[in-house]
Amino acid sequence: MHRKLFFLITPVLLFLIYMGCSSGNPSQEGSLTFITYNTGLAQGYVAYYTERLPEVITAVASADADIICLQEVWKDEDVAAVIEATEGNYPYSYLVQTGQEAGAVCSDGEEEDILDCALTNCGDVNPDNLSDCVLENCMVEFLLLSDECRSCMISNLGSTLDKIGEACATGADPSGLWSNDGRNGVLFLSRLPFTSTESEVLSSYLVKRVVLHVRVEDDALGTLDVYGTHLTADLRNAPPYAGEADSWEDEQGDQIDAMLAWISKTAGQENPIVLMGDMNCGPEKTDIESEAPDNYQKFETAGWTIPYTVSDDPLCTFCSDNPLVQDTSNDVIIDHIMFKQISENDHNSVERIFDTEFTADTDDGVLDLPVSDHYGVKLTINN
């Protein structure tokens, strides 16, 4: 009887032990793992959105981390899909749903020239890929638009040309001045519950920018303040900058100043602090070009440790050989995870992730595509 009972109980014990080791706890005892990833789910801006969306969701759902900061999850339905698909591994999520605050339309039929050009050159192009085609073939017409008309056109990208024309024509209900319906696209996913959450809206033009703050408790690190953001990109005057700063790059610098001041105000005085996201700036390294280096220097000057950029021969995170990247001249590191008030030691590890391709059946034929126009960064802190 005892041997029989032993053989009946043993499988149950093994199953319970296995479940206890794989029930969403951090992957390494005494460690915390962070991921930042710009998903590129920008329909009309980053090509092959429809084909890439399920791949993004699969990649994130299967990622092994404790806290993930995603950027460019713009659409409400995409946010819902990501949260639903990942809640088994990441039961906690946080975002701030910013929106439109004002509207604009084109005046006196000024939209007609660019729409005629777009219909002639891009009429058969999938809306997912429309911006590349229009900027390549109709840049003159685009630059001649007023700021209001240009903003309206951009905010409606992802729609067909007919719908863009209807939304922006004189006499239409005002369309938003902000792209992506005023959403900011930043989303936190976590295995650890949040003890508090808050956000700060950053001054920006055309695209809403925020920084999110979550606080978590960890057995090794104690109370931890984690921040996530997506800062302004230098769009090289396409479209021309028309915000309150002097340029796209200056706006980004102002955002960094404001964000670092807000972090100093809201983080616990002695708490470990992690900041991650698409900063759209980075240093010059071997085989890596700089991007807004003066802005990147603001982080180093403020005392942040940025493990990936100081690692041996780091790879670009926004790369010229990625077929989704419009600017094929730059290999830059602009996606960062950085920390303060955490010891930097040899046991910490950092790597580039989400850099494989998948095969997609597209309107342009069967293609091997990356999941996003960015690659992710993963940092594990061992204590």
The pTM assigned to this predicted structure is 0.86
What burial class does residue 136 get, using C-beta atoms within 10 Å of its C-beta: 0-12 exposed, 13-18 middle, 19+ buried?
exposed
A 10 A CB-CB count for 106 gives 25
- Which residue do the tokens 């950029």 mark? 309
pLDDT tens, residue by residue, 255-273: 999 999 999 999 999 999 9
pLDDT tens, residue by residue, 142-167: 989 988 888 888 878 878 899 899 88
Give the pLDDT mean for 84-88: 98
Strands (E), 20-66: 31-41
In sequence order, the 6+-apart residues with CB closer than 8 A to the CB of 260 are 298, 299, 302
For residue 57, give the nearest of 87, 22, 17 by alpha carbon. 87
In sequence order, the 6+-apart residues with CB closer than 8 A to the CB of 320 are 327, 328, 329, 330, 331
2-6, 86-90, 214-218: least confidently modelled range: 2-6
Is pLDDT above 80 for 59? yes
Encoded amino acid at 313, one letter? D
Q: How confident is the model at residue 348 (pLDDT cuts 50, 70, 90)?
A: confident
- Which residue do the tokens 């105000």 mark? 265
The pLDDT of residue 236: 79
Is pLDDT above 90 for 344? no
Cα–Cα distance, 46 to 129 (Å, whole number): 7
The pLDDT of residue 312: 86
Is pLDDT above 50 for 196? yes
